[in-house]
Amino acid sequence: MNRRLFCVFFLLVSALSWSQVQARELKIIFSQYTPPYVFEKGDGIVVDIVREALKASGHVVVPVYAPIGRGFELFAEKRVDGTAIIRESSGLEANYSDNFMQYHNRAFTLKARQHKLLKLEDLRDKTVVGFQNAQKYLGTDFARVVAANPNYKEMANQETQVLMLLLGRIDVAVIDESIFRFYREKLIAEGKAPRSAEYDAFPLFPPTPYKTAFIDARIRDTFNRELAAMRRDGRYAAIYRKYIEEYFVIKQ
């Protein structure tokens, strides 16, 4: 009897140990390069938040960098454990976390041109470049306005988008504030844009919240609990502060 109990106990412990080893390494999809949120060297605001939220339960995040479409395929095929910076409106069948970050999109203009953008309709007669899929993410009113503007286009390369504005080739760049600031300072530091290129940022859009999606609901629950703890104890704010201090050094 004792021998049988020992065998059962050994099998249970072995199974538990195996599952814990498997759970310790989680493949999470991140966008390929969206500084300061995601750097392909393995860090960034979003990468650090996800990593910290899963670390307390013993999980190790292994970043997988992929474009949106490919990321959806990998998740649907269950070749990864989760995907970050996603909304439930994506249609992806998943266990979605609480909101864990948000983009603050602005309409940026050169200060020297003295544009006043007080409402979305003010974009109708401007040369505007939005980020890729901006029409999808920024609401129906924005989509309606830019659909009637023949001088509106979108591009995936956000560094080029910022450069076009700083060199005066377009009137308006629609882009997240932190991404804009990162590329502005990078371009100035590299001598590609003039330091004198001051800008105005018009808050025409509400913040856009994003979640992380997981295959396993239990990992999602663990993520949510630790995310709430990070917000309470200051770790969440500290991650943002770290990147602000490291990259946002050029002042207007």
pLDDT, tens only, 62-111? 999 998 889 999 999 999 999 999 999 888 999 999 999 999 999 999 99
What percent of the chain shows pLDDT beyond 70? Answer: 89
Instruction: Give the pLDDT mean for 11-19.
Output: 43
Quote the number of domains for the chain: 2
Residue 160 belongs to a domain: yes
pTM for the structure as a whole = 0.83
Instruction: Give the pLDDT mean for 220-240.
Output: 98
**Which residues form the domain of 111?**
105-202
Q: 212 and 198, same structural domain?
A: no
Residue 67 belongs to a domain: yes
Q: Among 167, 183, 202, give the residue marking a domain's end.
A: 202
Which CATH number do you get for residue 69? 3.40.190.10
pLDDT, tens only, 157-204? 999 999 999 999 999 999 999 999 999 999 999 999 999 999 999 999
Q: 168 and 77, same structural domain?
A: no
> Which residue(s) pair with 43 in the sheet?
39
The pLDDT assigned to 17 comes to: 41
Beta strands in the chain (DSSP E): 25-30, 60-65, 82-86, 95-96, 101-103, 105-110, 128-131, 152-155, 172-176, 199-202, 208-214
| Paired sense of beta strands 199-202 and 105-110, if any | antiparallel
Which positions ≥6 away from 9 have C-beta within 8 Å? none
Q: 110 and 198, same structural domain?
A: yes
What percent of the chain shows pLDDT beyond 90? Answer: 79
The pLDDT assigned to 9 comes to: 46
Residue 184 belongs to a domain: yes
Model confidence band, residue 41 (pLDDT cutoffs 50, 70, 90): confident
Q: 227 and 192, same structural domain?
A: no
